[in-house]
Structure 1
Amino acid sequence: MVKIYSFPALRPKIGEAEKIASVPYDVVSTEEARECIENNPKSFMKVIRSEATMPGVSPNADIVYETAKKNLEKMVSEGSLLRDSEPGIYVYRVKQGGSIYTGFVANVSVKDYEENKIKRHEHTRYEKEEDRTKHIDTTNANTGLVVLLYRDPGEIFPYIESLIPKGEPDSLAKVDSGVVHEVFPVYDKDAILKIQEMFEGVDALYIADGHHRAKSSVNVAEKRREEGRITEEAERFMAVIFAESRVKVHGYSRLVKDLGEYTPESFINELAKKFDVKEYGEIDDTVFRIPPLKESKTPLHVFHMYLKGKWYEISSPVENPDDAIESLDVSAIQKTVMEDMLKITDPRADPRLEYLGGARPLADLETRVDSGSFAAAFSMQPVKVESVLKIADEGNVMPPKSTWFEPKLLSGLVIHTLD
């Protein structure tokens, strides 16, 4: 069983959620964060990316974290953020195109993470882990959401959905893309207790997004234990929790800046020794996924390449379908294309390799290659959610940038403080 906890959140003053809410800290550059704050001085970006307010200062300087703390405290003292008078859980609903995603924000246990009841499928990077550890410890708050999934035995999601009252949400933020984010607080003690009891039948939670935020929260708890200043709230961290059937996974595209020792022609010829390579023909570049040319009765690795103004389908049989890691398309492209052919052995740090995630139109890939900034782009098929959970259950780790989960949530609508 996993533990779920209510907490009295800091949340935007009624009517100010749209001004305060911001995209997560790790999806924008410092320059983009600065522009966001200049356009909207109330943006929560000045808390999660405070270096954007201090040109010329290293993002990891101590003053950056102290400034984040002061900016958060100022938002509270000025009344932009208000603390709930009683503990609650917070139903979080996202309306995106024709899809509706409903989960809830609550606290989960550091101990559950340490005992692998909160399971991971990715490695964390030390520098990103160190950054968020300092940020959480200094601000004394979880300012961003970890996205967790659970296997729903059938009754949890309907109950969470039933808690949404009629009428307007307590907080509403509509972003430029048209996506609507809504928060509905639930303070009823019986309802909260029922959710906690339901999760007594859930064996594990799975991190879909926010591996660094989760690990950094654990780091802060460990640090404070050693220093003798641990609190009950610091032994917990904030998460938004979705049923695994209520999210979507998109592929994570790859872009390479050069073809190494190959010309475009020789690169295709070498690929053809390892894969079945076919020109795809015209595509709809307003969508974000290229369907395979044909269905196969046997498992295939399938991905698509844009090179010199043409799209190609690259495919090969999956040698070991029972191997959850090796059967992934991202494993095939990393081993055979990136490592063996292009000598990109560190997919996390090699400057020749960049990623483009999420529901981004294929035209974004074409534009980057056509401009000359990149030599080729690779569009990946999405990984099934159940595959992600299976890999985590087996204690394995997926290759970097294997999954992009939707919905992407905003920061600043719900904040958990560690006091």
Structure 2
Amino acid sequence: MVKIYRFSGLRPDRAQAAAIASVPYDVVTTDEAEVILKKNPSSFLRVVRTDALLRDIPADDEKIYETARENLQEMEDQGILTRDEEPSMYLYRVKQGGNLYLGLVACVDVDDYLEDAIKKHEHTRYDKERDRTRHIEATNANTGLVVILYPDEGEIFGYTESILPEGEPDAVVKTESGVVHELFKISDPVSLSYLEDAFSRVPATYIADGHHRARSAVTVAEERREDGTYEPEDGRFMAILFAHKRVKIHGYSRLVADLGTYTPETFLAALKEQFEVRPYGEIDDTVFKIAPLREAAGTHVVHMYLGGAWYELSAPVENPDDLTGSLDVSALQKQVLEGMLGITDPRGDPRLQYLGGARPLADLEAKVDSGEFALAFSMQPVDVETVMNIADAGMVMPPKSTWFEPKLLSGLVIHTLGEGKKE
């Protein structure tokens, strides 16, 4: 049984939505966020990435989180964000190229997370989890969406399509890349009751994106239970629910700061002891995935950028029945990152960084060519059924194994917690 809840969203009106909506906090660097905020000071990045406004202090300074709280409160005080009077849910539609995505924004239950009715497929990274926990504590709000998949053969999705209002959206934003984001408020009690009842018959849901936001929201709820300030709204966090067959998955690239004791030549030689290594030749670096030179069932395929050239690494899967061990990212972590480079903690080692899979390959090349990183790995995507099977088995994938689309904007709707800790 899965519980979903209505909530009184805090959000901009239609006229201001485009100026306020921002990319999620975790898809831009501090430098990139600073550039956006200089061009558009109204961007919701002033709440979710306040570090870009305060470059002269450490990124984990308490002032960062205090300023986030102040900026969010200022937007509400000035009427830039207003609260819906009646608890509602929201339909969020994304038009991206020829693809159309439709998700339901509602609150989900902290206890469902703790009892594994909301399943996870990744461990969180310590630094990012602590950052979002402090952000939720300071702002007293869920400012970004956790993307959750629900198994559905059409009933729930079909119903959400049927209740999509025919009039103008409550908010509409068109990004520079041409992606259109639309938000529709759903407050009809009959529709909301139907959705609540339909989800009560869903045995489990699956986090697709936002593991850190979810875990941090749960941590805040647990802390408030312990210190006696807990209120029911603290036990819920904001999510967007998509039917499992109606999302896309991309790979998640890896960037490595140095080669350890290897030179580029000795590193390639060592790789050839474990993989078939073939120069790839020219690629289209405007896209975000490299097509394998030779696709074969039961074969790991990873693409590597080193010394200005792309290579394809391939090797047989040792145990196809091992759900996680048979993943390309697992082979890369075990045999290369850990086995050769000594990166034993993919969640916290500063030598290892990640780049979202929908970024063009040119971005990977630029980070290596600049000398910021020594090499990069571009990963093939896994399918959604594999992700769900791993979660069902109580297993986890290596960190940053999947990049889900659509990516949602922040600032179109916000869920605020209870009043117990507000100053």
Normalising by the smaller structure, the TM-score range is over 0.9
Residues 1:92 and 1:207: Cα distance change in structure 2 (over 3 Å): same
Counterpart AA for 1:173 = V
Structure 1 window deviating more from structure 2 (144-153 vs 251-260): it is: 251-260
Q: 1:355 to 1:137 in 2, by over 3 A?
A: closer
Structure 2: distance between partners of 1:139 and 1:357: 26
Match of 2:421 in 1: none
Separation in 1, partners of 2:115, 2:129: 19
Could you tell me how far apart the structure 1 residues matched to 2:264 and 2:60 are? 40
CA deviation after TM superposition for structure 1 residue 393, in Å: 1.1
Aligned position for 1:317:
316
Distance across 2 between alignment mates of 1:352 and 1:225: 37
In the superposition, the TM-score normalised over structure 1's length comes to: 0.95
Distance 1:18 1:152 in 2: 32
Residue 358 of structure 1 aligns to a residue whose secondary structure is: coil
AA of the residue aligned to 1:321: P
Q: CA deviation at 1:56?
A: 2.2
How far, CA to CA, are the matches of 1:139 and 1:259 in structure 2? 41
User: Helix, strand or coil: the match of 1:108?
Assistant: strand
How far apart are 1:406 and its partner, in Å?
1.0
| Cα 1:271–1:98 shift into 2, 3 Å | same
- The residue type equivalent to 1:234 in the other structure is D
What amino acid does structure 2 have at the position aligned with 1:391?
Answer: I
Match of 1:251 in 2: 251
Tell me the TM-score normalised to structure 2 length: 0.94
SS in 2 for 1:334: helix
Q: Which stretch has the larger CA shift, 381-390 or 33-42?
A: 33-42
Which whole-Å CA distance do the structure 2 matches of 1:62 and 1:353 have between them?
26
Take 2:228 and 2:52, find their aligned partners in 1: how far apart are those partners? Answer: 33
> Residues 77 and 294 from structure 1, CA distance in 2 versus in 1: closer, same or farther, beyond 3 angstroms?
same
Q: Deviations over 1:164-212 (max 9, x none)?
A: 2223211011222222111011111111111111112211111111111
| Secondary structure at the counterpart of residue 156 of structure 1 | helix
Q: Hey, what's the Cα distance between the residues in 1 that align with 2:363 and 2:36?
A: 22
Kindly indicate whether the alpha-carbon contact (under 8 Å) linking 1:13 and 1:79 is maintained by their aligned counterparts in 2.
no
Q: For residues 199-210 of structure 1, what are the structure 2 equivalents within 5 Å?
A: 199-210=199-210
For 1:20 and 1:320, how far apart are their aligned partners in 2? 49
The aligned counterpart of 1:78 is: 78
User: How big is each residue's C-alpha offset from its partner over 1:204-254, in whole Å with a ceiling of 9 and x where there is no partner?
Assistant: 111111111111111121122222222121111110111111111111112
Give the superposition deviation at 1:14.
2.4
Give 1:356's aligned residue: 355
Q: What's the counterpart of residue 416 of structure 2?
A: 417
CA spacing shift, 1:53–1:271, aligned 2, 3 Å: closer
Q: In the alignment, what sits opposite 1:273? A: 273
Q: Label 1:132 to 1:281 Cα distance change in 2 as closer, same or farther (>3 A).
A: closer
State the 1:33 CA deviation: 2.7
Percent of residue pairs bearing the same amino acid type: 63
What is aligned with 2:378? 379
Distance 2:138 2:366 in 1: 41
Aligned pairs for 1:115-154 within 5 A: 115-154=115-154
Q: 1:268 is aligned with what amino acid?
A: L
| 8 Å contact from structure 1 (residues 25, 45) kept in 2 | yes
SS in 2 for 1:413: coil
Superposed CA RMSD: 1.8
CA distance in 1, matches of 2:195, 2:352: 43
Shift of 1:87: 1.2
Q: 1:198 to 1:69 in 2, by over 3 A?
A: same
Q: Give the Cα–Cα distance (whole angstroms) in 1 for the partners of residues 45 and 364 of structure 2.
A: 27
Runs of 4+ with >6 A deviation: none
Within 5 A, what are the aligned runs for 1:88-107?
A: 88-107=88-107
The CA distance in 1 between the partners of 2:60 and 2:147, in whole Å, is 25
C-alpha spacing 1:379/1:81, structure 2 compared with 1 (3 Å): same
Counterpart residue number, 2:332:
333
Cα shift at 1:126: 3.0
Q: What SS does the corresponding residue of 1:16 show, helix, strand or coil?
A: helix
DSSP-derived class of the 1:409 partner: coil
Q: Displacement, 1:140?
A: 1.7
Q: Which residue of 2 aligns with 1:369?
A: 368
Alpha-carbon distance in 1 for matches of 2:416, 2:373: 43
8 Å contact from structure 2 (residues 8, 83) kept in 1: yes
Task: Report the Cα distance in structure 2 between the residues aligned to 1:365 and 1:62, rounded to whole angstroms.
Answer: 32
CA distance in 1 between counterparts of 2:13 and 2:32 reads 25
Shift of 1:355: 2.0
Shifted more, 106-115 versus 212-221: the winner is: 212-221
Aligned-residue offset at 1:64: 2.8
Q: Which runs of 5+ in 1 are unaligned?
A: none
